[in-house]
Structure formats: structure tokens, C-alpha cells
Amino acid sequence: MNSPETRKKIGNKLKEAREKANFTQEELAQKAGLSTNYYACVERGEENISAIRLAKLEEVLDVKILNI
């Protein structure tokens, strides 16, 4: 999950899932226990998200972002 391309793909998938669930970035970040600023950076592909944080976002959104 370290390459810029992978971070951007994950961010795009998170954004799509968040919008589909009708959450703002702030609402989703709060539900996942993240800061809004950090989540926004993840969504833009600027941060390398940990597997644990990604799993929490998947749980809140009820989606699978990575197929592992």
C-alpha cells in the first residue's frame, strides 16, 4: 500500500464508498476514530493508511476496499 498509485486507488475507492453511504469526510472519520484531516489525506492518496485503520473504515462503510 506504499506506492502513490496504490494509495490513490485506495483513496478513490474510499471516497466512492463514503459518498454512496452518504457520509461526509468528518462523519466517517469520527465513526472510524480518525481525525478528519488524516482521513482527507488518505482519500486524496497522500497518506499510507495502515491495515488496521483501513479495516475499521471498511467496517464502518460495510465494504471491502482491498480483496485480500
The structural domains of the chain, with segments of one domain joined by +, span: 4-61
Banded model confidence at residue 1, pLDDT cuts 50, 70, 90:
low
- Mark 39-58 as b/e (b = at least 16 C-beta within 10 Å): bbbbbebebebeeebbebbb
Residue-level pLDDT at 68: 60
pLDDT digits (tens, 9 = 90+) for 5-59: 999 999 999 999 999 999 999 999 999 999 999 999 999 999 999 999 999 999 9
Q: Which CATH architecture has domain 4-61?
A: Orthogonal Bundle (1.10)
Q: What angle do CA 5, 53, 21 make, to 5 degrees?
A: 80
Residue-level pLDDT at 67: 74
